[in-house]
Amino acid sequence: MTKPSRESEYVPSESRPEKMGPLELDHPLIGDLCPACNVPFREGELVTLVVLGPGDDPEERKKAREGEPYHAVALPLHWACATGEE
C-alpha cells in the first residue's frame, strides 16, 4: 500500500469548485488560516470549499456509499490555493 502524502500527484477532474466571495469584513472566516497555505483569510478574497467526505456520521456514510447526496465535511481554501487561478 502506498503511504499517504500531503503532496501527491493529482489529476484534476472536469468538475470545478464553486467560487465564493469576495469575503466581507464581518465574514466568520476572516482571520482564520487557510489550511493549504497557512495565510489568514482577508476581506475581499475569493474562497471555495473542498469536500473531504461524509465524516464519521453513519447515515451520511451510507448515503455516500449509495451515491446519494449527503452532508459533507469540507474545508475552506483560498480560491487560488484550490484552483491555481489568481
The tens digit of pLDDT for each residue in 23-71 reads: 999 999 999 999 999 999 999 999 999 989 999 999 999 999 999 999 9
CA 39 to chain centre: 15
At residue 20, does pLDDT exceed 70? Answer: yes
| Residue 53 identity (one-letter amino acid) | G
pLDDT value of residue 16: 76
At residue 4, does pLDDT exceed 70? Answer: no
CB count in 10 Å sphere of residue 47: 22
Q: What is the residue whose three cell numbers read 467526505?
A: 53
In the chain, where are the structural domains located?
Answer: 17-86
Q: Is 47 helix (H, G, I), strand (E, B) or coil?
A: strand
Q: What's the pTM value of the predicted model, to 2 decimals? A: 0.76
CA atoms within 13 A on the CB side of 63: 13
Quote the CA–CA distance of 80 and 50 in Å, as a whole number: 12
pLDDT value of residue 3: 47
